[in-house]
């Protein structure tokens, strides 16, 4: 789904997921996507000539969110709401309309504004945004050269030489690795020592989840402490 997304657009979705979790929401909605956008690309609002007080804008959007009973762990998958899913579809349509190869934060902004029933559209209207005007300004901006999606790392290449680091048997060029790590550090990371994680398993063995409350809610699930013993390495 996100193959065409620029790094800024992907960060927007990443931060939206974080905001939804933080508010205890059961899904990612347009309000969370707008919060993610405000956090991921502040320059965007200057480029489309919106005078935004980011603290005030954040408070306005947050006021529309109904907090859940408790914060949801970030390792629990959250679905997109109907409105959020449509907003991302609209973003894709806006990129296609402009014949843009990639879907960036400008297109996400237009997608969040497309339907006046979206909570994000209501918040953006409060900031003085109008869909027609935004479209004109986005079209004038064109597809920024920095909006290109970073190519996938070619792990199949044969990498040799003195500046090579092997990680779990995969050889990486040291210079390329440092560049990738620098990019990843721009996101939100929490450093902690990895240890086996608890999980719940359905007794028929056909399903597992990290939502430990399932073991309390249904007799079909049982808690397995330290049951998740392996995971991918994250740098």
Quick one: pLDDT at residue 34?
Answer: 94
Distance CA 83, CA 30 (A): 6
**CATH class for the domain made up of 7-147:** mainly alpha
For the chain, domain boundaries: 7-147, 197-228
Distance CA 70, CA 218 (A): 20
Q: What is the pTM of this model?
A: 0.60
Q: In the predicted model, is pLDDT for residue 27 greater than 80? A: yes
CA angle 222, 224, 226 (to 5 degrees): 165
pLDDT tens for 105-163 read 999 999 999 999 999 999 999 989 999 999 999 998 887 644 544 444 444 444 455 57
Closest CA to 43 of 65, 11, 84, 18: 11
């Amino acid at each position: 789904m996100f193959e065409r997304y620029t790094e800024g657009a992907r960060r927007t979705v990443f931060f939206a997921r974080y905001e939804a979790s933080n508010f205890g929401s059961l899904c990612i909605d347009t309000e969370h996507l707008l919060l993610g956008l405000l956090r991921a690309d502040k320059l965007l609002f200057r480029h489309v000539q919106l005078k935004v007080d980011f603290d005030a804008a954040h408070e306005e959007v947050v006021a529309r969110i109904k907090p859940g009973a408790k914060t949801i762990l970030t390792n629990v998958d959250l679905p997109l709401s109907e409105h959020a899913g449509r907003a991302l579809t609209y973003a894709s349509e806006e990129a296609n309309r402009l014949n843009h190869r990639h879907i960036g934060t400008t297109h996400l902004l237009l997608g969040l504004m497309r339907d006046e029933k979206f909570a994000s559209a209501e918040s953006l209207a409060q900031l003085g945004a109008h869909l027609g005007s935004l479209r004109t300004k986005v079209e004038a901006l064109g597809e920024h050269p920095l909006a290109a999606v970073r190519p996938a790392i070619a792990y199949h290449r044969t990498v040799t030489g003195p500046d090579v680091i092997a990680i779990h048997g995969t050889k990486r060029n040291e210079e390329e690795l440092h560049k990738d790590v620098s990019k990843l550090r721009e996101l939100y990371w929490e450093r902690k020592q990895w240890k086996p994680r608890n999980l719940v398993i359905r007794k028929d063995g056909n399903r597992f989840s990290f939502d430990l409350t399932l073991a309390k809610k249904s007799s079909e699930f049982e808690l397995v402490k330290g049951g998740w013993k392996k995971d991918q390495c994250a740098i």
